[in-house]
Structure 1
């Protein structure tokens, strides 16, 4: 599907999933704005996009844990008259932790970097949107979260809280902005075989005296499809949610977990 001329902001654009999303959208004809903390990785990702024949892209560095950085990002985004048609928002990932009662300072830090900062960035992005439903112009926001958005996991105690907060916030925003033609949907991921995650499986396999394939089969034995998702599969789901497919969808959470979630 071709979406030539539409501008999309992708946060977390240098990670395994973010890079795949950027590549997929570039091939589909979107103009891209890449956002992440590491300027070197942003530049490298833009070079890869150039190799794909994508000529309309740029990057803006942002640290979501810093109010000043987010404010600077929003100012730069608006300064050149950017009009966004879409946003792919990936709040920073949290490491597994079974501690359900961390110190107050830990909660403050997590909420700042994983919720408050990304939400403020989203506010700035929304301010640049100019949807006009009467003329068929709609704006699409996809928030990529994790399986703990819908299913509590014991080793993701703090993530259980913050991911659910994203689902509630997305639903609230969808009510408030639907009339304006701004669609807000969420994508809840299960295990995704990014390069970093594959490396961690390899490490666990080595420590257990197993092959990579044996360890992967063991870890995915509780998933009906018996596999983890790939970054490319996530990217395809994102592209679909940005497309006319979602013209009558908002406030929807899609599970991308191979059937792992067992609730109705």
Structure 2
């Protein structure tokens, strides 16, 4: 199926590894030009070169920390200078640290808000005017199954990602007349570096091993396994593409059936 992404320009943040990297690679495979960012230039440039070699796509790599307002402005300006437009924005950031309420401080909350919520808000402020000017676009917010089903020991993620969903639903309504679609993708347990770190944290807290924690999690997933980054990336590419032209305001779970609610 042709998703209609050939010749489009996509900006994917926090894309040097994990889900961001998988999404950028998938969009490049669909023949979009891709701009990526991350805080560490070495891994970022290595990922950019890997995507170029694998797909032949044009890849712009810009070191930036999406929790820093000036970095966001500089990032978007650089992408517009290079390509003249942004058709797809994927707001992604490293997840907040694990912890329970009494383990965390107000400073932890403030840092998590900057990273998880305000990065998405600022990216939208920077990109939406360009999308309006060009006649439309697609914004995708990377969130988590935790917006539907809170996860143990992930209070910050459970709380703050819900605010991102509020942003997505409201912007979907406000920006639809401008031809801008706004959606969220909510991955379940997916094999990434962050999940490996979370498994280690759970094991240390529970006196188990990461392998035992992974087995407990997969036992609760109807498909009997964790997802792979490329499976999530294919869902993002579809929802971000013209093939999903009548879909906006959606929070799409990609979780192997783990969430059992009806809404």
Please state which band the TM-score falls in when normalised by the shorter chain: 0.7 to 0.9
Asked if the contact 2:181/2:249 (under 8 Å) is kept, the reply is yes
With normalisation by structure 2, the TM-score equals 0.87
> CA 1:155/1:201 → structure 2, altered by over 3 Å: closer, same or farther?
closer
Larger displacement relative to structure 2 (217-226 or 168-177): 217-226
1:53 aligns with 2:51: no
Matches within 5 A, 1:34-49: 34-49=36-51
Larger displacement relative to structure 2 (67-76 or 225-234): 67-76
> 98, 101, 105: which is aligned to 1:99?
101
In structure 1, the residue matched to 2:234 is: 236
Alpha-carbon distance, 1:116 to partner: 1.3
CA distances 1:73-111 after superposition (whole Å, capped 9, x unpaired): 233333446201111111331122111684332222221
2: CA distance between counterparts of 1:144 and 1:15?
A: 14
1:259 aligns with 2:261: no
Alpha-carbon distance, 1:150 to partner: 1.5
Alpha-carbon distance, 1:131 to partner: 4.4
> CA 1:106/1:188 → structure 2, altered by over 3 Å: closer, same or farther?
same
2: CA distance between counterparts of 1:198 and 1:65?
A: 23
> CA 1:50/1:224 → structure 2, altered by over 3 Å: closer, same or farther?
same
Alpha-carbon distance, 1:245 to partner: 3.0
2: CA distance between counterparts of 1:37 and 1:108?
A: 19
> CA 1:258/1:39 → structure 2, altered by over 3 Å: closer, same or farther?
same
In structure 2, the residue matched to 1:127 is: 129
In structure 1, the residue matched to 2:178 is: 180
> CA 1:208/1:105 → structure 2, altered by over 3 Å: closer, same or farther?
closer
1:168 aligns with 2:170: no
Alpha-carbon distance, 1:39 to partner: 1.1
Alpha-carbon distance, 1:160 to partner: 1.4
2: CA distance between counterparts of 1:195 and 1:108?
A: 24
Larger displacement relative to structure 2 (236-245 or 158-167): 236-245
How many residues in Structure 1 have an aligned counterpart in Structure 2? 256
2: CA distance between counterparts of 1:66 and 1:199?
A: 24
Structure holding more helix per residue: 2
In structure 1, the residue matched to 2:91 is: 89
> CA 1:223/1:5 → structure 2, altered by over 3 Å: closer, same or farther?
same
Larger displacement relative to structure 2 (148-157 or 221-230): 148-157
With normalisation by structure 1, the TM-score equals 0.87
Deviation beyond 4 Å, 4+ runs, structure 1: 198-205, 207-210
Alpha-carbon distance, 1:199 to partner: 7.1
Matches within 5 A, 1:11-90: 11-80=13-82, 82-90=84-92
Alpha-carbon distance, 1:29 to partner: 0.4
Q: CA RMSD in A?
A: 2.5
In structure 2, the residue matched to 1:220 is: 218
2: CA distance between counterparts of 1:202 and 1:111?
A: 24
Alpha-carbon distance, 1:22 to partner: 1.6
